[in-house]
Amino acid sequence: MRRLAILSLHGCPVARLGEKDTGGMNVYVLQVAKELAERGYLVDVYTRCHDPQDPQVVELADGARVVHIKAGPYDTTKESLYEYIPEFLSNLHRFQQSAGVVYDLIHSHYWLSGRVGVILSQRWKVPHVVTFHTLAKTKLRARAGEIEPQWRISAEKIVSQSADAIVVTTAQEQEDLSRLYGIAPSKVHVIPAGVDLELFRPVDKDEARQALGLREDKVILYVGRIEPLKGLDVLVGALPLLEDPENTRLLVVGGKPGQDAELKRLKSFADGLGIGGKVTFTGAVEQDRLPVYYGAADAFVLPSYYESFGLVALEAMACGTPVVVSRVGGLKTFIKNGETGYLIPWHCPEPFAQRLDMLLENPSLREKMGNAARADALKMSWRGVAEQTSEFYTSLVDRTLESLAGA
């Protein structure tokens, strides 16, 4: 049996999804931790304490737990967390010592955690694996106006060079690490993300719409963080271009209405287009409630400028909902254009509206694509992700032990 330390400094796996700085990475960490525990691992997920009500230890499953570590003020932004890494390290080390646990391997998620993982790997003399989920240089190339500090870029390069291995969800990210950061492809291992097939499954559309109080004949859905990189202005701009905008409802799930500046901007944009009454900004929704939203929708739309994977699109597919998404990053690796949805190469409203109309005005096409989407999603379970990850961990630890024995 192996004991695993997962580092997710800024992304707590039990935090409310859809709000600022919570999303696919949180789901990834939560699901993989639970599945690895099912396979006999003892898993500790170390994350920053983000709420004074957080208990220090939260049990995820038999053999898996979240450990909240104090590091900076509770309301500190992600951009400011870098300066609290020493405090996180010190308090994590104190917990580890008091608990008397020894780890066989460290897996860091995101560059902030990677900085911690580099130090702990040297201190504990165990292998260090990192998954970045997003890369600064890739984001900067994805959309004009994106800003990333140079010290993040430098930190990503240091972490990627220092780690024993890097796990990515797509071959595109493997290529980005090689081209932009100079990392040998042999050091990067591709394991696609997965989906919770027990939670995300088709539901009765009429019942879902009744539960959500929807009266329009046609429903479009977005789920995710609310930020410019997600391209929501493209989606809102596509709504008045549809054949029947008066009978179409756009649901935007995520963020905090009344608090997020980007949500306020989008609402003003929709009002200016004359379609404000047809857009519902729901705020963040609990994970176990999301299948109702996916099931109520005729199409799921993700017009992002950059997605390292795009987990919400896979969740929609698992619910039998066809997707209309940007042809970027991980999305183009698991969505089959014209079969399970549409991949749009342009970030402007017109092509999104055109493809949405094809789905909204053609029930038989929606059904065919939805069935194909569900069939493809069935091949991408978190259990399968954990099996591949476990095999990779075992080979890495074995290689490390052999290297130490031969030294």
Quick one: pLDDT at residue 22? 62
Domain count, the chain: 2
- 352 and 402 in a common domain: no
CB 40 within 8 A of CB 6: no
Q: Are residues 273 and 136 in the same domain?
A: no
Q: Are residues 228 and 259 in the same domain?
A: yes
Q: What CA dihedral angle connects 319, 30, 225 and 311, to 10 degrees?
A: -40
| Claim to verify: residue 53 and residue 157 sit in the same structural domain | yes
Q: What average pLDDT does the structure give for the chain? A: 93
CATH number where 356 lies: 3.40.50.2000
Residue 405 has pLDDT above 70, yes or no: no
Say whether both 108 and 74 belong to one domain. Answer: yes
Q: Are residues 143 and 286 in the same domain?
A: no
Angle at 402 between CA 167 and CA 165, to 5 degrees: 15
Fill in the amino acid letter for 59. Answer: E
Residue 394 clears pLDDT 70, i.e. is over it: yes
SS3 105: strand
In whole angstroms, give the CA distance from residue 85 to residue 283: 30
Strand partners for 323 = 300, 341
Average pLDDT, integer, range 222-248: 96
| 62 — pLDDT class (breaks 50, 70, 90) | very high
The answer to whether the CB of 333 falls within 8 A of the CB of 172 is: yes
pLDDT at 74: 85
Same domain, 343 and 400: no
Model confidence at 137, pLDDT cuts 50, 70, 90, reads very high
Whether residues 187 and 260 share a domain: the answer is no
The residue that leads in pLDDT, 79 or 243, is: 243
On whether residue 346 sits in a domain, the answer given is yes
Q: Are residue 372 and residue 225 in the same domain, yes or no?
A: yes
Residue 78: pLDDT band by 50, 70, 90 thresholds? Answer: confident
Residues 391, 348 within the same domain: no
Q: Which of 144-153, 256-265, 283-292, 397-406 has the lowest mean pLDDT?
A: 397-406
Position 402 pLDDT exceeds 80: no
Q: What b/e string do you get for 138-172 counting C-beta neighbours within 10 Å, with b at 16 or more?
A: bbbebbeeeebeeebbebbbebbebbbbbbbbbeb
pLDDT at 260: 83
Q: Does residue 316 fall inside a structural domain?
A: yes
Q: Is 200 among the domain residues?
A: no
Residue 319 lies in a domain: yes
More confident residue, 366 or 144: 366
Q: Which of 75-89, 116-130, 163-177, 287-301 has the lowest mean pLDDT?
A: 75-89
Regarding whether 292 and 151 lie in a shared domain, the answer is: no
Task: State the pLDDT confidence band at 406, using cuts at 50, 70 and 90.
Answer: low
- Report the percent of the chain where pLDDT is more than 70: 96
**Residue 159 domain-assigned?**
yes
Same domain, 365 and 292: yes
The pLDDT-based confidence of 50 (bands split at 50, 70, 90) is confident
Distance CA 97, CA 91 (A): 10
**Average pLDDT over every residue of 205-215:** 97
- Domain of residue 14: give its range: 3-194+382-406
